[in-house]
């Protein structure tokens, strides 16, 4: 187990600088255009694929970094470039991780390459979990998967929402209820192969921010997938359901729910790192502007009101990064989040991103309110961090209940 460190090693610095160069030279010049178009930036994704950034190998290398800092470092640099384009680049990873976490070796080898495609024909994938009536409350999920034993097929019906790449993906990973009696432990994940009848794109959302990332509903109407598309296989599912039913009968339902919450807890620092990247980008714009913008015969940074704002912004960004790195290291080291450290990192970093991007607009004044300067877009993008992967209210609930010893429902 690697010791916790605040210093990136030489290999990590090399990757960081490489990603920073891509973010600065490729993503930033295109950010305003794709934000206005509200379309998936396929040319940028293709360029990322050519360089090896848009690939499973790259994210696997970062994920298995023994220090735990590979993923947060990568997320910060890409989202420093532009949040919407970055989410289009990393969004496929949500589905890929779902397969890696739950799939067999054969499923991993079959489906993940199809999620990314190749340099000449890039593809994207979608992870479909949230529903119109089941966001934070995953136990309220209604999408059902029923097994047709005669045909060895699963039949999926329901509507998913807020799906990154939903409807345009080559491969969809869909979470559905197979046993509604045991809550979230009665869920299973399914691969929906390309061109499967019955899957369609519903509403495409016109969003406040991250507009270069495609977000839509996914409608499932009698979608039939072969038995081998159940991630992990039916034997493993049957064993898991049997254990969950026994625990429920023995009064262990809350422990089952807590274990599920712990899984979510481990993924939240990555979102915190995205927020840190956006906050850092806005701070740097504001700092440069304050150094060069003159009023009353001197740069505005000479005014205490501006200087103190920038001091607070930098302090909060660094504090957020430290929380993210600590939680990421703990997750990699297998240390339990006894104080909900994963939720802490996501909560604080996301709130900092909203605050810092707002302060950046204020420092730029009227210029900050226009699309001529990027802080306006960064402020819109930052709003999502307090919402997805668990709202700030849910994070506070998780932290409070962890501290008090109350069950996390």
Give me the active site residues, please: 389
**Contact, 242 vs 182, CB < 8 A?**
no
**Contact, 145 vs 188, CB < 8 A?**
yes
**Contact, 163 vs 218, CB < 8 A?**
yes
Residues in CB range of 25: below 8 A, 6 or more apart: none
Contacts 24+ apart (CB under 8 A), 19-22: 19/53, 19/74, 19/77, 19/78, 20/77, 20/80, 22/48, 22/51, 22/53, 22/78, 22/81
Q: How far apart (Å, rounded) are the C-alpha atoms in residues 236 and 220?
A: 25
Q: How far apart (Å, rounded) are the C-alpha atoms in residues 73 and 62?
A: 9
Q: How far apart (Å, rounded) are the C-alpha atoms in residues 192 and 76?
A: 31
Residue with tokens 């049957």, as numbered in its chain: 238
Q: How far apart (Å, rounded) are the C-alpha atoms in residues 281 and 13?
A: 18
Residues in CB range of 352: below 8 A, 6 or more apart: 275, 276, 279, 316, 317, 319, 320
Buried b (16+ CB within 10 A) or exposed e, 188-208: bbbbbeeebeebebbeebebe
Token pair for residue 185? Answer: 């432990």
């Amino acid at each position: 187990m690697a010791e916790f460190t605040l210093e990136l090693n030489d290999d990590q610095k090399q990757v960081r600088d490489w990603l920073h160069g891509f973010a600065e030279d490729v993503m930033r010049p295109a950010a305003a255009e794709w934000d206005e178009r509200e379309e998936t930036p396929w040319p940028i994704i293709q360029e990322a694929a050519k360089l090896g950034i848009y690939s499973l190998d790259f994210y696997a290398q970062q994920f298995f970094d023994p220090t735990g800092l590979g993923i947060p470092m990568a997320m910060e640099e890409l989202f420093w470039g532009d949040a919407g384009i970055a989410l289009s680049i990393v969004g496929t990873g949500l589905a890929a991780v779902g397969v890696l976490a739950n799939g067999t070796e054969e499923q991993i080898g079959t489906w993940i390459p199809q999620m990314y495609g190749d340099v000449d024909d890039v593809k994207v994938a979608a992870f479909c979990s949230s529903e119109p009536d089941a966001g934070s409350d995953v136990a309220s999920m209604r999408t059902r998967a029923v097994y047709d034993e005669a045909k060895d097929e699963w039949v999926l019906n329901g509507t998913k929402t807020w799906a990154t790449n939903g409807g345009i993906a080559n491969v969809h990973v869909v979470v559905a209820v197979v046993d509604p009696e045991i809550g979230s432990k009665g869920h299973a994940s399914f691969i929906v192969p390309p061109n499967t009848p019955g899957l369609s794109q519903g509403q495409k959302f016109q969003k406040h921010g991250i507009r270069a990332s495609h977000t839509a509903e996914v409608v499932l109407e009698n979608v039939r997938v072969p038995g081998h598309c159940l991630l992990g296989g039916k034997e493993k599912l049957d064993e898991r359901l049997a254990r969950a039913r026994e625990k429920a009968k023995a009064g262990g339902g809350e422990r089952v729910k807590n274990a599920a919450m712990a899984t979510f807890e481990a993924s939240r620092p990555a979102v915190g790192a995205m927020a840190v990247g956006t906050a850092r980008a806005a701070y740097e714009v504001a700092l440069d502007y304050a150094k060069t913008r003159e009023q009353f015969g001197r740069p505005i940074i000479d005014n205490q009101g501006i200087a103190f704002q920038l001091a607070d912004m930098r302090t909060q960004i660094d504090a957020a990064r430290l929380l993210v790195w600590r939680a990421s290291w703990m997750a990699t080291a297998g240390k339990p989040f006894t104080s909900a450290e994963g939720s802490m990192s996501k909560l604080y970093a996301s709130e900092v991103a909203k605050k810092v991007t707002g302060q950046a607009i204020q420092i730029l004044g009227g210029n900050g309110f226009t699309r001529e300067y990027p802080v306006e877009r960064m402020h819109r993008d930052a709003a999502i961090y307090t919402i997805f992967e668990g709202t700030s209210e849910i994070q506070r609930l998780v932290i409070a209940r962890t501290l008090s010893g109350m069950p996390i429902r």
